[in-house]
A and B are shown apart, each in its own frame.
Chain A
């Protein structure tokens, strides 16, 4: 009998859990196809809000800007974060290693408001001392995003490298490959899943950051989250639902592709 009950209980809990996690997203997607202007009343299926969205220049420019910022800052964070992760994983003993380690990972635990404010103060005083960066805008957003996302990349890369079997690199050296070649032919391919994961993480973090961006952005650099946030304050438009649906779909596709890539990297069936 206990088994009978368990057979119902476990799937039920799972269902409830999924509802809790994905219910809001599902309702958001459903209402993006609502023909009514009111978000809470279903008035029939329509793609009206999507076509309206694609004619909304403010949102489109902001989306494009956000994607560009996310791609560039994720790439920058990947390079810097990989270097930092490498140093943390490989050089176990040097002066100031402890300090370096906690400084790199500090943005993980630092409240965003503080990170944003301190970056703003930094940019302002830098401008008054050396005249660079001039004003706030895309450049300062990029620098800020790289600063806080590289910490995530560094942590992911360090974890992967700590589990890395050093004798693989030694074997490659032994067989006549020079250190730089070893890095590109052995180390890099083997940590590439971590690099892909780190880049995607940095990309999504940058894409949806609102707090830090608000501090360091200028008049001509309004990112997508800022547009959404300010438009929602004036009342929720179903356009935002449509926009969110597109974002969810994109992220899902990217994550599925990335995990597929990682799987084929791990084991390929015999040819």
Chain B
């Protein structure tokens, strides 16, 4: 498994960690190795155990089983205030009786840093998140996004070895989010902090993280680079959760040297795909990303997979347009077309017949 940063031994090692709440496993036998200086993203639907995992790393929850090692040291007996970890809380947890500046300076004051050093570091990190103007306000006088930025600043200012961010940018507008994301990457390169970031926004994970892990009801279902997870999802769930996808359920009818044909319900012709040799009759799902489907008004020549359908809806999205096409079986398929191509080529309008084609490498064959 490739590790980011300087390689070598993992900085954080999570070994078979389990946490149960009233018999129900919120985190179930999770193992992960995260390298020094890596930017690691945790993705997963609400309630899958992301926050619980972070809370165990920070020391607020004790694992029922398994071990957490930071820099080779077992953390089981180490209380939160002695761990080289800072966490940004999903609920921000700003101290309501302190100003923004003293909230941010709190951690540095605990370390007994000199006063002027605290002042400069606080004002620097507040400028970073564009909150310098509000340094003397109380959290109650800030908007949701402003509070989030203060919480981020408070977690960043100590420049810990390991920074846990629980949805750090959910309440920010798009522009600020991109800026902050860029800043995080910059800070990471400068200080070499190891980041673990929880996010719902898969685009955010894709663009910032060196690796991502996808969680599903307490389990990690896939770990890999954003590209691997997007292009080679391990399960139906991952394919569906990361990005948009068309899923076809079917059965393998024939398999020979690296290629399979899959008969899919509602389609007369089998779909050709590449994949590991599977016995005929195996139930599989095919995942095809919308941008890998070529949409044409005229029937294309020599396409390996070809179906016809009726365009039902076109959603304009600026750089792209998303088409919803109904196949004869009434199954809806999504295809995206860059708007440059759409405006250049012959237009396919709503209600018209269109041809959908894709290469043999486009579908991913999924057995779970």
Given contacts A174-B87, A175-B107, A190-B97, contact A271 B136 (CB under 8 A): yes
Q: Which residue from chain B places its CB closest to the CB of A271 in the assembled complex?
A: B136
Contact between chains at B93 and A175 (CB < 8 Å): no
Q: Which of A165, A168, A176, A267 contacts B81 (CB 8 A)?
A: A176
Contact with B along A163-177 (1 / 0, CB 8 A): 001011011111111
Task: Decide yes or no whether B241 CB sits under 8 A from chain A.
Answer: no
Contacts of B107 in A (CB 8 A): 175-176
Given contacts A165-B93, A267-B138, A271-B136, contact A174 B85 (CB under 8 A): yes
Contact between chains at B137 and A270 (CB < 8 Å): yes
Given contacts A177-B110, A270-B141, contact A167 B93 (CB under 8 A): yes
Q: Binding site of B, secondary structure by majority: helix, strand, loop or mixed?
A: loop
A39 to B138, CA, bound (A): 54
Contacts of A168 in B (CB 8 A): 93, 95-96
Task: Decide yes or no whether B89 CB sits under 8 A from chain A.
Answer: yes
Contacts of A173 in B (CB 8 A): 59-60, 79-81
Interface residues of A in 242-257 (CB under 8 A from B): none
Task: Decide yes or no whether B91 CB sits under 8 A from chain A.
Answer: yes
Task: Report the minimum CB–CB distance from A178 to chain B (whole Å).
Answer: 6
Task: Decide yes or no whether B145 CB sits under 8 A from chain A.
Answer: no
Given contacts A168-B95, A190-B96, contact A174 B136 (CB under 8 A): no
Contact between chains at B81 and A177 (CB < 8 Å): yes
Task: Report the minimum CB–CB distance from A117 to chain B (whole Å).
Answer: 44
Task: Decide yes or no whether B158 CB sits under 8 A from chain A.
Answer: yes
Contacts of A178 in B (CB 8 A): 81
Q: Binding site of A, secondary structure by majority: helix, strand, loop or mixed?
A: helix
Given contacts A175-B106, A177-B81, contact A189 B89 (CB under 8 A): no
Q: Which of B85, B93, B97 contacts A170 (CB 8 A)?
A: B93
Number of A-B contacts (CB under 8 A): 69
Q: Which residue from chain B places its CB closest to the CB of A189 in the assembled complex?
A: B97
A186 to B80, CA, bound (A): 16
Task: Decide yes or no whether B140 CB sits under 8 A from chain A.
Answer: yes
A271 to B138, CA, bound (A): 10
Contact with A along B160-201 (1 / 0, CB 8 A): 000000000000000000000000000000000000000000
Contacts of A271 in B (CB 8 A): 99, 136
A168 to B79, CA, bound (A): 16
A229 to B21, CA, bound (A): 59
Q: Which residue from chain A places its CB closest to the CB of B99 in the assembled complex?
A: A271
Contacts of B136 in A (CB 8 A): 270-271
Contacts of A181 in B (CB 8 A): 110
Contact between chains at B89 and A167 (CB < 8 Å): yes
Contacts of B86 in A (CB 8 A): 174-175
A55 to B100, CA, bound (A): 55
Task: Report the minimum CB–CB distance from B135 to chain A (whole Å).
Answer: 9
Interface residues of A in 157-212 (CB under 8 A from B): 165, 167-168, 170-179, 181, 186, 189-190
Contacts of B30 in A (CB 8 A): none
Task: Decide yes or no whether A118 CB sits under 8 A from chain B.
Answer: no
Contacts of B80 in A (CB 8 A): 170, 173-174
Task: Decide yes or no whether A46 CB sits under 8 A from chain B.
Answer: no
Interface size of B as a range = 20 to 34
Count of interface residues, chain A, beta-carbon cutoff 8 Å: 23
Task: Report the minimum CB–CB distance from A124 to chain B (whole Å).
Answer: 48
Task: Decide yes or no whether A102 CB sits under 8 A from chain B.
Answer: no
Contact between chains at B154 and A175 (CB < 8 Å): yes
A175 to B136, CA, bound (A): 20
A270 to B87, CA, bound (A): 27
Contacts of A179 in B (CB 8 A): 81
Contact with B along A259-270 (1 / 0, CB 8 A): 000000111101
Contact between chains at B158 and A171 (CB < 8 Å): no
Q: Which residue from chain A places its CB closest to the CB of B55 in the assembled complex?
A: A170
Interface residues of A (CB under 8 A from B): 165, 167-168, 170-179, 181, 186, 189-190, 265-268, 270-271
Interface residues of B (CB under 8 A from A): 58-60, 79-81, 85-87, 89, 91, 93-97, 99, 106-107, 110-111, 134, 136-138, 140-141, 154, 158
Please name 11 further chain A to chain B contacts, defined as beta carbons within 8 Å, in addition to the given A171-B93, A270-B134, sorted by A numbering.
A170-B93, A171-B95, A172-B106, A173-B60, A174-B81, A174-B87, A175-B81, A176-B158, A177-B81, A190-B96, A267-B141
Would you give 20 A-B contacts (Cβ < 8 Å), ordered by A?
A167-B91, A168-B96, A170-B80, A170-B89, A171-B87, A171-B89, A172-B106, A173-B81, A175-B154, A176-B81, A176-B107, A176-B111, A177-B106, A177-B110, A178-B81, A190-B97, A265-B97, A267-B141, A270-B137, A270-B141
